[in-house]
């Protein structure tokens, strides 16, 4: 049989079951690749996933095209000449077809209405996305959604046919045509013609509904998320609940002021974040000066050991320690006592064999449970206790390190 005529899904995308005969079965890395005399399994490609389902009650693992043949990948082999029953997962097929045809309509409308051509399209289970050249405004997206649902309401027939490349060139086709022996054109009657190998509903009414449900700027393109069919109905049902939840979260009375309030809130948060960063930098500078002044001279080396009980974060003390070590070649020992835990930050300049700060931390971790580690010059960890005996052990370890420096 001619390879194109074997593709029953091309002419009848609504056929969910079929009897066929195994033409060949080859063992490959992923399993067994089966070619049938005819098939209803749509192979993955063109942004559309392959169909799931069974052949002779065996789950199809994957389905793709190679040299114009559809390969069905099974976990076990079939015999050549064997008669088999095929069944696809029709709910998924319908979801694919609805989202895929919705993409044709949205892409055609964006070209027609905004001269904004589709750069790529992708379908997932229950939603799809299209990437276009330039952003569309929220009102343009609403206009687009309404126009798309207008095309659905007109229930326009969707026709597919194969053409030679010469024939296809004479037809006004939207978008590029990838060179092939035979070109499959999909026509939404009186609305759009596009070259496509995918599966589509028989009429635009089969999509039921299109909802635009999100946007994102990505790689210099503008991505539009959309849902169709059952997924669009669910989205529609949940939309009001989501709006009201957002309205509660932002303390807004009417949803009409939601966007402005959300924008103001984000602006305020960003400003507060910038102020916090600047305050943090000032605090770090002040603490650096304070702790530098507090360093003792031990055998010609600036030495600082502190048990800190007020709440600063470890990142702050690590940054100060780094600067004291780098700028003043200081030995810095911090213990930050929290509730039921104590963080340790031990640092000294590189060079010389002692003191081994990693070994000191390891000793404390052996006595009290916790985690952490490090090298002779830099060790950081956390004990799972803030009990007085742990603090006493830390003070003792810090004093021993000072003695070691003095020796």
Q: Which residues bind Zn ion (CB under 5 A)?
A: 196, 198
Rounded CA gap, 357 and 63, in Å?
A: 59
Minimum distance from residue 235 beta carbon to Zn ion (Å): 22
- 198 vs 370 by CB, closer to Zn ion: 198
- 45 vs 68 by CB, closer to Zn ion: 45
Minimum distance from residue 199 beta carbon to Zn ion (Å): 8
Minimum distance from residue 160 beta carbon to Zn ion (Å): 9
Minimum distance from residue 185 beta carbon to Zn ion (Å): 10
H or E, element range at 238: helix 229-250
Pairing between β-strand 370-374 and β-strand 378-383 as defined by DSSP bridges: antiparallel
- By CB neighbour count within 10 A (0-12 exposed, 13-18 middle, 19+ buried), where does 62 fall? middle
Residue closest to Zn ion, measured at CB: 196
* Cα–chain center distance at 161: 37
Distances 345 to 252, 317, 341 between C-alpha atoms, Å: 46, 8, 13
Minimum distance from residue 381 beta carbon to Zn ion (Å): 59
Token reading at 110: 């964006």
Minimum distance from residue 9 beta carbon to Zn ion (Å): 12
- 198 vs 381 by CB, closer to Zn ion: 198
Rounded CA gap, 193 and 104, in Å?
A: 9
Rounded CA gap, 170 and 121, in Å?
A: 26
- 196 vs 401 by CB, closer to Zn ion: 196
- 108 vs 364 by CB, closer to Zn ion: 108
CB neighbour list of residue 131: distance below 8 Å, 6 or more residues apart: 118, 119, 120, 121, 218, 219, 221, 222, 223, 224
């Amino acid at each position: 049989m001619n390879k194109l005529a074997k593709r029953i899904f091309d002419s009848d995308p609504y056929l969910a079951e079929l009897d066929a005969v195994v033409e060949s079965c080859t063992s490959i890395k992923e399993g067994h690749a089966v070619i049938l005399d005819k098939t209803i399994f749509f192979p993955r490609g063109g942004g559309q996933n392959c169909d799931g389902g069974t052949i002779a009650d065996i789950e199809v693992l994957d389905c793709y095209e190679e040299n114009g043949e559809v390969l069905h990948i099974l976990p076990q082999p079939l015999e050549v000449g064997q008669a088999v029953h095929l069944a696809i997962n029709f709910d998924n097929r319908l979801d694919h077809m609805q989202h895929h045809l919705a993409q044709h309509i949205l892409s055609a409308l964006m070209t027609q209405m905004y001269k904004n051509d589709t750069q790529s399209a992708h379908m997932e289970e229950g939603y799809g996305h299209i990437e276009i050249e330039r952003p569309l405004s929220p009102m343009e997206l609403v206009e687009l959604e309404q126009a798309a649902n207008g095309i659905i309401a007109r229930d326009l027939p969707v026709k597919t046919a194969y053409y030679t490349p010469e024939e296809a060139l004479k037809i006004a086709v939207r978008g590029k045509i990838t060179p092939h022996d035979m070109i499959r054109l999909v026509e939404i009657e009186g609305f759009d013609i596009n070259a496509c190998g995918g599966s589509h509903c028989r009429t635009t009414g089969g999509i039921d509904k299109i909802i635009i449900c999100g946007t994102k700027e990505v790689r210099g393109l503008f991505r539009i998320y959309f849902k169709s069919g059952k997924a669009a109905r669910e989205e529609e049902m949940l939309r009001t609940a989501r709006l009201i939840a957002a309205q509660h979260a932002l303390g807004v009375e009417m949803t009409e002021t939601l966007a402005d309030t959300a924008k103001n809130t984000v602006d305020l948060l960003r400003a507060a974040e910038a102020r916090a960063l600047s305050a943090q930098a000032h605090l770090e500078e002040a603490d650096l000066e304070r702790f530098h002044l507090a360093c003792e001279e031990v055998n010609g080396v600036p030495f600082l050991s502190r048990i800190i009980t007020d709440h600063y974060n470890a990142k702050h003390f690590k940054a100060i320690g780094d600067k004291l070590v780098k700028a003043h070649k200081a030995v810095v020992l911090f213990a930050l006592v929290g509730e039921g835990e104590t963080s340790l930050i031990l640092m000294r300049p590189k060079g010389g064999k002692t003191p081994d700060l990693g070994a000191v931390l390891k000793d404390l971790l052996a006595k009290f449970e916790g985690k952490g580690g490090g090298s002779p010059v830099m060790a950081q960890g956390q004990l799972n206790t803030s009990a007085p005996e742990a603090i006493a052990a830390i003070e003792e370890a810090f004093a021993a390190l000072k003695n070691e420096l003095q020796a």
